[in-house]
Structure formats: structure tokens, C-alpha cells
Amino acid sequence: APQSALTHRPAMRAPLLLAMGAMAVAPPDAKVTVSGVSSGGFFAVQFHVAFSSLISGAGVIAGGPFYCAQGNVDVALSSCMTTPELISVEELAAITRNTYITTKTIDDPANLAKNNRVWLFTGTKDTVVHPGVVRKLESYYGLFGIKHIKMLDTIPAEHSWVTDSFGNACAFKGEPYMNQCGFDAASELLSFLYPTNTRSNLASNRTQNRLNTTATTGRLMEINQARFVPGGAPPAPLGLGKTAYAWVPEGCENGCHVHVAFHGCLQSLKHIGMDFVNVRDPPFTFVRSLQSFET
């Protein structure tokens, strides 16, 4: 279930994240973007909207609009997963604006129209989150004036993070929920979210990407997420994993663009080990993508 869809103002609930620089030299206008799949996709949207003054773009696979479930688990499991015709994006947009006006517990959603970019993906064979839910998300973002939205909805993928050559068959449903569809979602979304920092044809040049299977020089850092829980409470009751991971490419010690990725249900360390965050091999090919970034 899209757990993050149940939260109005999200705490940092995704149990695993991967953050990495997108350039070797920190630019003066460094950007932070997010992405996620399934519950992580819903969470990426929650995070993007709630902290729109900080986040400049989102890549979402099988996720839906902000506050989709409105605090109701039955709505989460129906409207937000299987019955998208029940979603009113106009109502959700109004709730978003009113939440900012009346409570200030989220950032001003007017920020979303300021050079934000949104990349969306839904597999035609997704039987968990109906493709129509992602199309509702596209409409939701459109109501806030985001001009740069890319929707990909023609690949016959089941519910999964989609890769070029790692994981189960494209139409398979099951752990680790990573399917090889001849499509490198990581490269595609990064090149869209950071268009001025990529060489031409980064995402479409799969031959180049296959050759770049060794990660760029850098280090994988473990982050104790308990440090971010108010009052010193343990992370687990908040749905937060003990450890997050950050890949820091060489040259980024003093700051770079940052991308944060949130995994989906059944993709935690407990369920699939380091598969989602393994930066030295597929499936999570952001580091391969970074090799094609201009410096």
C-alpha cells in the first residue's frame, strides 16, 4: 500500500535513500531532486510538495498525487491504487493550497511553478498501482503550473523499478520489484531532471551506458537516520530505517547537486539486501548515469 500517501505532512519515512552528486564541481545554483517507486513514489511526491522551496524536481514511478488517501487507508487501497477515477485532482490541489494558507505546515505550492521538472513513469502491465493513478498525478502537477512534465506510459512493465538489464522479466510481479525492460529509468529521469548537465543522448545511448558499468570514483557513506528523529526517539516506529546510504562522487566533498531516491514496499534491506542501493552494479544505475554528466 502507498504508505506515504497516508501522511499529510511527511516525516522522512522511506527506510532507504540514496543521495549523490550530479556534477563533479558544485554549481552556484545546486539543485536537490527526489525520486521513488511505488510507496517511495508517493513519498517522493509528498516530499516534493511539502518542501517545494527546497526541491526542484521529482521522478516518480507508480506513484500518485499529494495527500491522495486523505488519511484513510481504504482510500489509499482503492482510489490511490486501483480506481483512479475516484481521485479528484482539483480537490487535492485545493487541499494543498489551503493547507499552506491555513497551517503553513507545507511550503507555498506556488514554488512548484518555478523551473520545476517532473518525470513520470507507469508500466502498461502494472497491476498494483493502476496507470491512471500516475496520469492523475500528471494532472495534479499541471494544476500548479509546472511546464516541464514528461510522462512515459508505453513500456509493458509490471509494478517495479525499471532497468536496462537487471532483475526479473519486464512483466513479472515480485521481489525485488526490479524488472529488466531494456529501459534505464535512472538515466532517463536524471537526464530529464538535470537537462543542462548531461551530454546529448545520455539516456538513449544504452550502448554507452552498458560500457560504463564501473562506478565513478567516490565513496558510499552510511547515514544514521536516528540523528534526524526529534527527541532522540528510535526511527523504526516512524517507519524510518536505521541506515540510509549516500554515494559521494570524487570532487563532491564540498557540495554538488543532490538526488535522493526512496525505495518501495518490500525493497528494504530486510527484504532485498543492498539491491536497491548497490551503486557499483545495476540495478540502481544512477552512478553509471553520472559518468555521462558534464563536469
Which of 39, 52, 79, 126 is flagged as catalytic? 126
Q: Which of 38, 56, 191, 292 is catalytic?
A: 38
Dig out the grid coordinates for 286 from the structure.
Answer: 544512477
Note every long-range contact of 197-205, with CB atoms under 8 Å and residues 24 or more positions apart, other chains counting: 197/22, 197/23, 197/257, 197/293, 197/294, 198/292, 198/293, 198/294, 199/292, 199/293, 199/294, 202/289, 202/292, 202/293, 203/289, 205/292
Active site residue 38: yes
What is the SS3 assignment for 141-208? Answer: HHCCCCCEEEEECCCCCCCCEEECCCCEECCCCCCCCEEECCCCHHHHHHHHHCHHHECCCCCCCHHH
Could you tell me which of 244, 68, 245, 230 has the C-alpha nearest to residue 141?
68
DSSP, collapsed to helix, strand or coil, labels residue 70 as: coil
Known catalytic membership, residue 164? no
- Beta sheet of 218-224, edge-to-edge order: 148-152, 117-121, 55-61, 32-37, 258-262, 17-21, 243-249, 218-224
Residue from 48, 130, 159, 257 carrying the catalytic annotation? 159
Q: Nearest to residue 86, comparing CAs of 61, 99, 69, 71?
A: 69
Backbone angles phi, psi at 271, to 5 degrees: -90, -45
Residues tagged active-site: 38, 126, 159
